[in-house]
Structure 1
Amino acid sequence: MPCSLEVIPSSDSLNMYGPPDASTSFSLSGRITITINPSSWPLSRRSPTRHILKSLIVTFEGRQESITPETGYGAVRLCLVTRELVSGAPLQLSNATQGGEKTCIWHFVFDLQIPGWLPETSSWGSPSPFHGDAGTRYALYASASFFDGEECSSAPTAGPSSWMTAITSCMTLPFGGGQTNIVEAPQCPIVVARYVDPPRMEDSCAAFPMSAFVVDAQRASMESPRHGIPPVVLSKVRVGALVPSPVSFEGGSFPIELRVRATDLEDGFRARLQLTEVNVDIEQTEFFRNTMPRNEIEAAKWPVPPCSYQPPYLPLRQTHSLASFFDAGLVITPAHFRSTVTRTFSLLPLDQSGLFNVGGNTHVFVRHPSSLPESDPEDWYVLDMHIPILQEPYQSDWAGLRGARPSEDTPLFTVQHLLHLALRVQYTDSYGIVAAERLQFSVPLNFVRATPLHIDPRIQTLIPPLLPPVVAHVGAGLEQLVGVGMGMNKGAAYTNRLPPYSQLFHPNGEEKINWSMQLPLYEPPASSPSTTSTIAGLT
């Protein structure tokens, strides 16, 4: 059949903004191109090619696949969004207007609503054949159902009456023995990425807000077992921390504020306490599962299709190369088979120890006579630190390279981050004996990708102008456009045409105003000649 299909999205990536939310959706648009080539005819003159298009379906499918040595293979269909583009009566596609000598192309425009809770595209596993290509994937598919109408076009037509008779016979042939052909388009991968907008401040430096944690630091270790810090003194030490919420892990580092003080402690004991060093570490824990949690509360977070649409009841369109081996039982799982396995490692750069020495006067618990009361927040001793984040992945194993990933909670994969801090507190008793102990605590981190480009609605030069609408009808020329739409180029950054809602409005719906930007002076609009868009026909 001299016919081919191709899916051309407006952009190869779909950028989502904000945290995952099942009540939101994002638009994925594009077009499906149907190309009809001239058919080979034994006579000297080629006959026009005619096909009856009965159905044209575009599908967006997301899947997750997990393969580990201890959990085996697991798969889940994240979403299945379909749209029928041919409604009502079938359409006849033909190159008869070109005498059957040239190729004709039709464009069918589509626009799909993609759920806003979907996790971003990710890859898990080492590059080896056994563990590669697992993770989260998305793709567009298209299929067209044709009734081959070349039989009715083979008979010579003497006039309009014969032409109408041929059309009628083509429409009725499927009920009398015609052949229906299904044409599939190659899959078109779509990369889903999720970004979080930093709040727009009045100044040009936008940063994520800081979240305060007042923690109960626990005793980690006693360096001198025989001479520890008296519990009555150690219990008076209070620790607090301010960390960004969330954290942009692609920035290389992030700031934190560590606050310490001693409450209800006499000045004599304060003078004996010292803070000598702080040790930090960023821990990333990855969870791998071979099936979704059975807990209804956990499963309710992911509105995936029902069980009848999940494998093996409805197989995935594209699967891992080893999925069939697991289904056939050809891969032997180990005796210590588990449904969940974890991997934990540090995200500090390899050349960083995470040790911060407190320079200068280490008697940070001593108050000066002019200091404020203990109940005032200014009584805290503040240490400003910048924590480096690993940027270059290292040490590949069964789960792939060890590197920073965004925090996420998905049906088969979960990534969590913790910031561990340990304070070395030193105490000198009345006999001059020095005792040192470590107080440790942990605070959660939320790693996200910050929006790479901030588009101010008042800077129109950052927003590419929209192309004028083009209306085409069947037979207008070499390429026909079914419907009305904008000109779309493959790979165009369609998502950057308009800024996301969170950049223009506050959560309560009020418009965000950048008062630091001066409004331009008013100038009368310049007159411009009218433009007319046409579609060039064949010459």
Structure 2
Amino acid sequence: MTISVQIHPSSSSLYMFNEPETSTAYSLSGHVSISISPSQFYFDKARSAKAILRSLTLTFEGYQELVTHETGYTATRLCSFTRELAPVEAMLLSTDGREDRDHNGKTAVWNFVFDIPVPGWLPATSTFGSDLHGAAGTRYSLFAEARFASFGEGHARGWSLAALCNSISPRDRVVHAKRCDVEITRFMQPEVEFDADAGKLFGDMTYAIDSQSDRPTRTNGDPTRIPEDVLKKIEVLATVPETVATDADDLKLAVRLRAAGLPLEQQRRLRLTDFEIKLTQTEHFHKSPQSSYVAAFPLPDESMQTDRRPLQNPHPTKAMYDIGLITAAVSSPDASAFSSTFSLLPKRHSGRHKLPKGGVSFAHESASESEVAWCKLEVAVPFSHVQVNEDMDWERKYGRVKALRPTEETPLFCVHHEIEVDLTCVYDSDVEGQKPATERLVFSVPVTFARVPPQRAFSAKDFLAIPALSSISSSLPSPIPSRSASPAPSTASSSSSSPSYNEFNSLPAYSQLYHPNGDRKINYSIPLPLYTPKGCDPPEAPPYEPSATHNFVDGKLSL
């Protein structure tokens, strides 16, 4: 008799949305199948097969493994949930009545349905560190184990070759299913309405910059340096998108400068002549979970961690490190973390740009004293979409995989992005024939990269066309960052296939319509209908005007 157990999730991918949240959960559903087929022998025909199912457990396990030359092997368990799928009482599984007419054995199958809530704070599946002996990183897997007792096969004769084999086989058996990997992908969901013409999915973040000179030491009266009293009057604003899609072509950067505290004549002497932009990705590796992450998210306690309860599917290098075949290069126990930074600019892009015609003046010739103008600089910064095993020269040199990643915080691995701007400003001398003073202002601002689901331009009118939403469209709130707890797609799909638009945006997220406690969200900006006494015509309601939005335009607040 042959018994097999297989795991069949509804989808091999689980999609999560927006920032990790401890108050959200996602559904991972499917079924576990148990197949029983009688043994077949050349001189004997199978009659039936029976097995008593004592238990059927399904375990969802998430874990992080870090393998680098600097840290060696380290692992942490992110979560582990076990569900019993079999009935409380032992269940008899039998192929009686399932034999076919030509006496060939026929497999009987029983399906046990499962639905596991997966916490919404879990990090996305990813590969990082060394992949010399196989990919390591963040992984999620399903494991199933079935326990049977007193199973056997019935035959018409009292003695047969099948009965002899069955008599010497073990009476109890534990059958394990083949591991089933589940890929978790996290998306940042854009607001419901966006500027389709400009292709903007997210808003902008503006930073007031305290720029620093690249030459901190200063000598009084140095004619090659811009005077300190002039330098302090230069104001700098930098604007970047709140979120940059990892599949976007470039990053939009806007820099504005002015020296409103200087007389107009001095403003005209200030010019921006050239600039340099660096876009970097910094990866932080840790041998143990960060204390800040442990405080924010409910990782399993010490009794559930890998040193006391080994992973069911550890990385191959774990055994090599355990027996000393491979050793880490860490020189002291205090060296428990390290960082690595590389440029995201394309290889043939230097990032240095020189402005034509001697640069841009802080104040044009026709400007008046009362006019406060900004010197504007708008740049589309391209970035490389490098993936794992593409830049093999870099990976061989540093012993780690290289890839453009979303900005994220995880227990053992963190990714941060930053854009550094180097502005060269000159200050023309009022002495004829003297060279202008020069100063380089350097600053950096953080940038957030994220995966974004496929989008198309739509407006609130699209929601009105959906019958299921026509009755609630008037109460749709203004675009609110979603903390959706929607289940994973119910149809099976390949992990390499891209999710369709309808899969994400045909309905608003749960958190856009309801509060965490289940109460319905109310958009108070939409007025209630006016009261009308019986028998009277309803008065004409004033036209609805949405609440004013505030935008900074050229340094001035406009409504």
Please report the TM-score for the alignment, with normalisation by the length of structure 1. Answer: 0.78
In 1, Cα distance between equivalents of 2:498 and 2:36: 28
Amino acid across the alignment from 1:303: P
Amino acid across the alignment from 2:110: W
* Match among 344, 355, 358 for residue 358 of structure 1: 355
- Are 1:255 and 2:260 counterparts? no
Report if the CA contact (8 A) 1:22-1:115 is conserved.
yes
Report if the CA contact (8 A) 1:285-1:343 is conserved.
yes
Alignment-derived partner of residue 376 in structure 2 = 382
Report if the CA contact (8 A) 2:250-2:383 is conserved.
yes
Change (3 A) 1:368 1:87: farther
Q: SS of the counterpart of 2:346?
A: coil
Change (3 A) 1:332 1:491: closer
The alpha carbon displacement at 1:42 in A equals 8.3
Q: How many residues align?
A: 460
The alpha carbon displacement at 1:200 in A equals 2.3
Amino acid across the alignment from 1:80: S
Q: SS of the counterpart of 2:32?
A: strand
- Describe the superposition over 1:504-536 as per-residue Cα deviations: whole angstroms up to 9, x where unpaired: 567464699xxxxxxxxxxxxxxxxxxxxxxxx
Structure 1 unaligned segments of length 5 or more: list them: 158-177, 462-485, 513-539
The alpha carbon displacement at 1:194 in A equals 0.7
* Match among 86, 97, 106 for residue 102 of structure 1: 106
Q: SS of the counterpart of 2:331?
A: coil
* Match among 145, 162, 165 for residue 143 of structure 1: 145
The alpha carbon displacement at 1:287 in A equals 0.9
Change (3 A) 1:372 1:226: closer
* Match among 428, 438, 441 for residue 440 of structure 2: 438
Alignment-derived partner of residue 231 in structure 2 = 234
- Describe the superposition over 1:470-520 as per-residue Cα deviations: whole angstroms up to 9, x where unpaired: xxxxxxxxxxxxxxxx996574989867536984567464699xxxxxxxx
Change (3 A) 1:65 1:425: same
Report if the CA contact (8 A) 2:124-2:184 is conserved.
yes
- Describe the superposition over 1:151-180 as per-residue Cα deviations: whole angstroms up to 9, x where unpaired: 7x46889xxxxxxxxxxxxxxxxxxxx933
- Describe the superposition over 1:198-254 as per-residue Cα deviations: whole angstroms up to 9, x where unpaired: 112265444211011111111113899752111111111100011111111221212
Report if the CA contact (8 A) 2:17-2:186 is conserved.
yes
Percent of aligned pairs sharing the same letter: 33
Report if the CA contact (8 A) 2:11-2:490 is conserved.
no
Amino acid across the alignment from 1:78: L
In 1, Cα distance between equivalents of 2:132 and 2:94: 48
The alpha carbon displacement at 1:55 in A equals 1.1
The alpha carbon displacement at 1:372 in A equals 9.0
Alignment-derived partner of residue 22 in structure 2 = 22
Worse overlay, 417-426 or 326-335: 326-335
Worse overlay, 396-405 or 298-307: 396-405
Report if the CA contact (8 A) 1:85-1:108 is conserved.
yes
* Match among 425, 444, 447 for residue 449 of structure 2: 447
In 2, Cα distance between equivalents of 1:127 and 1:445: 28
Report if the CA contact (8 A) 2:52-2:93 is conserved.
yes
* Match among 133, 136, 142 for residue 134 of structure 1: 136
For 1:73-88, list aligned pairs within 5 A: 73-88=73-88
Change (3 A) 1:41 1:494: farther
Q: SS of the counterpart of 1:286?
A: strand
Alignment-derived partner of residue 184 in structure 1 = 176
In 2, Cα distance between equivalents of 1:4 and 1:279: 62
* Match among 314, 323, 326 for residue 318 of structure 2: 323
* Match among 204, 210, 213 for residue 210 of structure 1: 204
Q: SS of the counterpart of 2:361?
A: coil
* Match among 199, 202, 214 for residue 191 of structure 2: 199
Report if the CA contact (8 A) 1:198-1:206 is conserved.
no
Structure 2 unaligned segments of length 5 or more: list them: 159-169, 468-488, 515-520, 524-559
Q: SS of the counterpart of 1:150?
A: strand
In 2, Cα distance between equivalents of 1:212 and 1:372: 26
Report if the CA contact (8 A) 1:200-1:206 is conserved.
no
State the Cα RMSD in Å: 3.2
Alignment-derived partner of residue 301 in structure 1 = 296
In 2, Cα distance between equivalents of 1:92 and 1:459: 52
In 2, Cα distance between equivalents of 1:336 and 1:357: 45
In 1, Cα distance between equivalents of 2:330 and 2:29: 48
In 1, Cα distance between equivalents of 2:59 and 2:16: 19
